[in-house]
Amino acid sequence: MDLRFDPEFPVRHILDGLKCRERMNRIVISANRKKHLPTPFQGLTIDRLYQVRVELVHRIAYQFSLDRTLSARQCHRHVYYLYKYLHRYQQPIGVLMTKALVQTAIIRPLLENRFVSTRRFCWLRDLIARVEGQDVAEKLDKLFWDWRGEVIRKSQSHLYEADGIGLAHVNTMKRLGLLEKVSPGLRP
């Protein structure tokens, strides 16, 4: 048996596979700790969970999107990490993941009168168009611009009521406690 270095040996692929399993293990431990591991997957070994990881990651992401004990930003961070896991290891992105991303990146911040950047929305709209279809993305596009416009208009009117001048920055107005909840049309 020859044990010399073989430059053709796919070490990188093996290391990527080990990192993938390690990250999956961290995802399962984190979801279990926060009570987001779906019931059908509880009690399964990490080897068995690794075989159904795509479905499991989608379900965990959706559970995080429904969690009201975490802030919108924390929920989005968890869901985005799960999205990056699937994207990094070239796993399919499904409808449940896009629903979780919409919930954490658009709906929750707008419900809390937080500003949602155009860049984030455009990235998400393009992802939805690839996964769910162009018609779904167009519907979300209309709802988003109407809702975000309403949040901005409300922020501006509260600034004028407080004898302010200039442009009202939504997050600043929220931080100062000058905005209440506004939600025209889009509900979780």
pLDDT at 157: 77
pTM (whole model) above 0.85: no
Q: What is the pLDDT of residues 123-134, one digit of tens each?
A: 999 999 999 999
Element containing residue 18 per DSSP (H, E)? helix 11-33
In Å, how far are 11, 115, 152 from 183, measured between CA atoms? 52, 13, 12
Segment 51-65 mean pLDDT: 91
Residue 64 vs residue 174, higher pLDDT: 64
pLDDT > 90 in the chain, percent: 42
* CA pair distance 153, 1, nearest whole angstrom: 75
Residue (of 97, 151, 146, 149) closest to 124 by Cα position = 97
- Residue 112: pLDDT band with limits 50, 70, 90: confident
- Domain ranges (residues) in the chain: 13-175
> Is residue 138 within 8 Å of 126, Cβ to Cβ?
no
Cα-Cα-Cα-Cα torsion 23, 25, 29, 34, nearest 10 degrees, comes to 50
